[in-house]
Each structure stands twice: as C-alpha cells, then as structure tokens.
Amino acid sequence: MGICKHLTNGAISLAISVAVTVVAADDDDSPWVLHEVALAVAVSAFLSGFFTSYFAER
C-alpha cells in the first residue's frame, strides 16, 4: 500500500510541473525544444515527488 502513495505523489508532482512548464514556456524564439524540456521536467518532478514522499515517511 505504501508504494502506491509514493507513486501517486510522484504523478501529481509530474502533472503539476509539466502543466506549469508548458503553459509558461515561450516556444516562439527559444533555443530549446518544448517537448524535450517537458520530458526533463517530468522526470525531475516525478523523482522529486516520489522520493520526497518516500523519505518523509521514514
């Protein structure tokens, strides 16, 4: 049961972070590709949410 809680917290963090990044990004004249930035944010946010939940419980 505990792992589901951590996965849920990671997924919530991922969804919020990617949504904010995509809405706030100015894709017109940027030196990066939006889907690559969104992917990097998604990985980082999921791991942050997951491990914060995991270690906060201990």
Residue with the two structure tokens 């809680």: 5
Question: Which is more confident, 58 or 19?
Answer: 19
Whether the pTM exceeds 0.95: the reply is no
Is 90 exceeded by the pLDDT of residue 30? no
All residues at 6 or more sequence positions from 30 whose CB lies less than 8 Å from its CB, including other chains: none
pLDDT of residue 1: 58
Q: What is the mean pLDDT of the chain?
A: 92
Q: Which two tokens stand for residue 39?
A: 């992917």
Alpha-carbon span 23 to 2, nearest angstrom:
32
pLDDT of residue 28: 75
